[in-house]
């Protein structure tokens, strides 16, 4: 009998069962996070914690996977949940529809989590996620800035210490150094210089954030199946 994961199983063999057993928290469901979720569910992940406080607005349509003219005004968590279940109705989803702060961030970790994908925009939360995941021995992949970039081939999965041309990464590099954090802190980062001068809002497109999200998902899946090249 054919399975929706038949082509994937040709790659990972019986490790599909291992993939299906893992739980992934995705913080931020925008241009990066929505593509990460999509790739994870299509790669066999069945246990999700999805976190975002925002509702869909018209400016999201150019880069966020679950957005349409017909669902503007709906919560992103609700729309991502629908999309996950439309692909795999066996998926188990915990939705957290609230803004994450330093005061409530620990509420995300009340149950066992195997991986965290950080696709949020708040630098203080990115920093705290690194601290928490290091302390709890949870695998983390964090997306750095994807706005004001035009070349998705400049994105790569690297240790934070090897990043360049990224304002967010620069802040995190300093924290990692100042706090003497040991071991790798894996991020998806671009070494492309800023494409244009930012005036009021950060410009963005479909393909750079989307590629970052796919790279985040690939890090998780390759780590599960034991590909040490990621």
pLDDT at 185: 98
pLDDT at 198: 82
Intervals of the chain under pLDDT 50:
none
pLDDT at 1: 64
**Backbone phi and psi for residue 6, each to the nearest 5 degrees, phi listed first:** -55, -45
pLDDT at 2: 72
Token pair 């330093």 is found at: 102
pTM for the model stands at: 0.96
pLDDT at 156: 97
* pLDDT tens for each residue of 47-71: 999 999 999 999 999 999 999 999 9
At the topology level, CATH places domain 6-225 in Rossmann fold (3.40.50)
pLDDT at 228: 56
pLDDT at 125: 98
pLDDT at 45: 98
């Amino acid at each position: 009998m054919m399975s929706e994961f038949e082509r994937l199983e040709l790659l990972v063999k019986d490790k599909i069962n291992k993939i299906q057993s893992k739980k992934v928290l995705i913080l931020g469901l925008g241009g990066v996070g929505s593509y990460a979720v999509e790739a994870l569910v299509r790669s066999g992940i069945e246990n999700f914690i999805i976190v975002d406080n925002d509702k869909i607005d018209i400016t999201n349509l150019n880069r966020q996977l679950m957005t349409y003219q017909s669902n503007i005004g709906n919560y992103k968590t609700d729309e991502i949940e629908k999309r996950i279940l439309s692909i795999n109705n066996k998926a188990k989803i915990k939705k957290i529809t609230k803004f994450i702060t330093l005061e409530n961030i620990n509420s995300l970790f009340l149950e066992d989590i195997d991986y965290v994908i950080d696709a949020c925009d708040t630098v203080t939360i990115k920093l705290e996620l690194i601290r928490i995941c290091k302390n709890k021995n949870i695998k983390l992949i964090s997306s750095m800035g994807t706005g004001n970039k035009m070349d998705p081939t400049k994105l790569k999965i690297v240790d934070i210490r090897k990043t360049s041309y990224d304002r967010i990464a620069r802040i995190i590099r300093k924290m990692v150094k100042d706090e003497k954090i040991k071991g790798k802190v894996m991020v998806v980062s671009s070494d492309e210089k800023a494409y244009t001068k930012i005036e009021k809002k950060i410009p963005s497109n479909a393909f750079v954030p989307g590629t970052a999200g796919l790279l985040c998902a690939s890090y998780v899946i390759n780590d599960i199946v034991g590909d040490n090249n990621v």
